[in-house]
Chains A and B, each alone.
Chain A
Amino acid sequence: MSEQQIAKQLSLWEQGPMERELQARGERKESFATPSGIEVKRLYTPLDLEQAGQDYNRDLGYPGQFPFTRGKDPLGYRANHWLFMQYAGFGDAAEANKRYRYLLAHGGTGISIALDLPTQLGLDSDDPLADGEVGRIGVALDSLQDLETVFDGIPLDQPRQISLVANAMSSVGLAMFVALAKKQGVDPAKITLRIQNDILKEFISRGTYIYPPGPSLRLSCDLIEYCARNHPNWLPLTLCGYHLREAGSDAVQEVAISLADGLAYLDEVAERGVDLEKVLPQLSAFMSVNMNFMEEIAKFRVMRRLWARLAKERYGVKDPDKLGLALVNFTAGSSLTAQQPMNNVVRVAIECLAGVLGGCQSLFPCSYDEAFCTPTEESVKLALRTQQIIAHESGLADTIDPLGGSYFLESLTEQIEAKVRELLDETEKQGGAVKCIENQWFRRQIDESAYEWQKKVDAGEQVVVGVNAFTEDVEPAIEIFRPPVEAQQRQINKLKTLRASRDPDLVEAALNKVAAAAREGSNTIPAMVEAVEAYATIGEICGTMAQVFGLYRESGL
């Protein structure tokens, strides 16, 4: 059928049945738009793709090949399902170990280690600032000893992937894994370790930075460089859109800012002479799956395609088929409601579907009780079951990119990419991601989006079921998880015993090497591995570096 024939039939429909219904009933709203402000038309047809100039081979192509619009893997989920991940870890290392064993026994295929805030910020558990936070939102890792306990009875090569949510102290985390692999006698080449290591987004959204942006970027790049030279199969950087989205950005900003951050790391690593052809295939992106189903799916396709295009354009990559970005999708915590919490089970299921239809490599579902507390064992299990139902019962995993070719989806994909490119151009004009962090431009963009969204919800323009519509006077009570209160004291006691049992000269010598590497500008990781092996604590190692780099303090609003 030719375009002209379609156009002719379309206009007959528009003037006929459509117009009659419009006159007779009208529509629910005057206009429809996605949350990132893209107008949603009444109907999409092949003409929209024609108008957007979409060219199948150039813009969609084939799975596992540049530009990866239809997926990263040539076999999609026909070979393996995505990794069923659960973000878990609380209390002390022994409790975390118990929970990881439980998840692995119930069919979980990957482990993601959540760290408590003191650890993420490089503070020992007995630091006065850590009071009340030890073991709260993750496990405390004061030293290598704690990681040994976390993996007691779990060889590092048993889970298909281990991921560590570490950013400001990612290099110390990496050093601990290097040391543990040695101790367990496991070949590092058989371990798949993913370290988040995206410090730039911490300044824009999540807030767990230690040092100022400059030295922070350097440490992240030390890790990337070290992995490229020593453990080329590890995953040294995950570009994080998730936290930007949770901070209130829209889907377009989520993609644009995380891509801009990604370019900042690669520019720096390239300057050090690291072979980018080795690094690029190891990168992944950690993205939010929010509630607007089609916009989210389109967003994932844009994230993969645009990253591949940018990397190819900017770094002159020889083999663009290696530029497939692995997507780690996490359902949106901020879409969960405290009101009528069981409704969150449905939200999580919808978001998981979008994550899968977007072609993710790993998927983390939230648990329905997360608007109140760290999830209970039951709610975590239900979240895992949600993925299993999608994987085994829905049939969506049986063909690659089942929604590819949807007029609406393809149209959204083209429009989102164009909007992201505009924002990226603006970022470049301002001097790149680090500049836009320093001058707070990213934060202002996100604040505006967050505030607009809140006002729409407050005004009832955006319905959130149970919150501003279909509310109930009496809220059902749900079971609340309580991290064991003794965890903090137990952790502190363990730390004190450790400090008394180490060889102090060995620790001091190792810390001096860390300081020297930090001062001299050489790669800090080898010195950190030595320090970790001497059982230097996270507080000692990060404190040593803070003496060289200084601590970062943000200004107010």
Chain B
Amino acid sequence: MARKRRVLMAKPGLDGHDRGARIVSMGLRDAGYEVIYTGRRVTPAQIVSAAIQEDVDLIGLSILSGAHMTLFGKTLDLLSEQGAGDIPVFGGGIIPPDDAIKLKKMGVKEIFGPGTSLPAIVAALEQHLPPANGG
């Protein structure tokens, strides 16, 4: 039987607003993903080690406090340092358009702002995954 795709959903930093992270987690679960949600207030180091340990196919980061440039950057750096730079990272939250462009240049695959629908998120993520083996 094919292994379900696994995604790690994380709330880096100190921001506690996790409605978005929880809804996206529920949406991805209903779309057939296995979702591991870290809970709030985790460090980039904790995220990277959980991602490697759980052997995930995707990492989702959600920040609404404005600390995205610092925390997304740290997470990406640590991932490549630990040889896991190939795990696609996506993100969401309160992120100004200019920052979204910068984050994509830094290597974040997708930024989903407020108002993005769950089907749109699922469709966008599909493009960053290899076809599921065995179907």
- Which A residues have a C-beta under 8 Å from some C-beta of B? 117-118, 120-121, 123, 129-133, 136-137, 202, 205-208, 246-248, 334, 336-339, 370-374, 447, 450-451, 454-455, 457-458, 464, 466-468, 477, 480, 483, 553-557
Contact = CB atoms under 8 A, between A and B. Distances in A.
A121 B94 contact: no
A455 B118 contact: yes
Interface string B11-50: 0011111110011011100000001111111010000000
Given A121-B14, A451-B26, A556 B36 contact: yes
A133 B118 contact: no
A132 B96 contact: no
B118 A337 contact: no
A465 B115 CA distance: 11
A360 B63 CA distance: 31
Interface stretch (B65-73, B76-84, B102-110, B125-133): B65-73
A359 to B, nearest CB: 28
- What does DSSP make chain A's interface, helix, strand, loop or mixed? loop
A136 B113 contact: no
Contacts of B70: 131-132
A373 B67 contact: no
Contacts of A131: 70
Nearest to B68: A132
Nearest to B25: A557
Contact of A246 (B9, B19, B23): B19
A26 to B, nearest CB: 29
Interface residues of B, number: 38
A464 B115 contact: yes
Given A117-B65, A132-B71, A373-B94, 8 more contacts: A131-B70, A338-B114, A339-B115, A458-B118, A458-B119, A483-B66, A557-B9, A557-B37
A449 to B, nearest CB: 10
B114 A337 contact: yes
A118 B65 CA distance: 11
Nearest to B23: A454
Nearest to A207: B16
B48 to A, nearest CB: 16
Given A455-B118, A480-B96, A556-B39, A338 B113 contact: yes
A450 B43 contact: no
Contacts of A554: 39-40
B17 A246 contact: yes
B97 interface: yes
Contacts of A123: 14
A372 B96 contact: yes
Contacts of B66: 133, 136-137, 373-374, 483
B117 A207 contact: no
A337 B16 CA distance: 20
11 contacts: A117-B65, A136-B65, A137-B65, A246-B17, A337-B114, A372-B95, A372-B96, A373-B66, A374-B66, A553-B39, A556-B37
A477 B69 CA distance: 20
Contacts of B36: 556
Nearest to B66: A136
B47 to A, nearest CB: 13
Contacts of B14: 117-118, 120-121, 123, 129-130, 133, 208
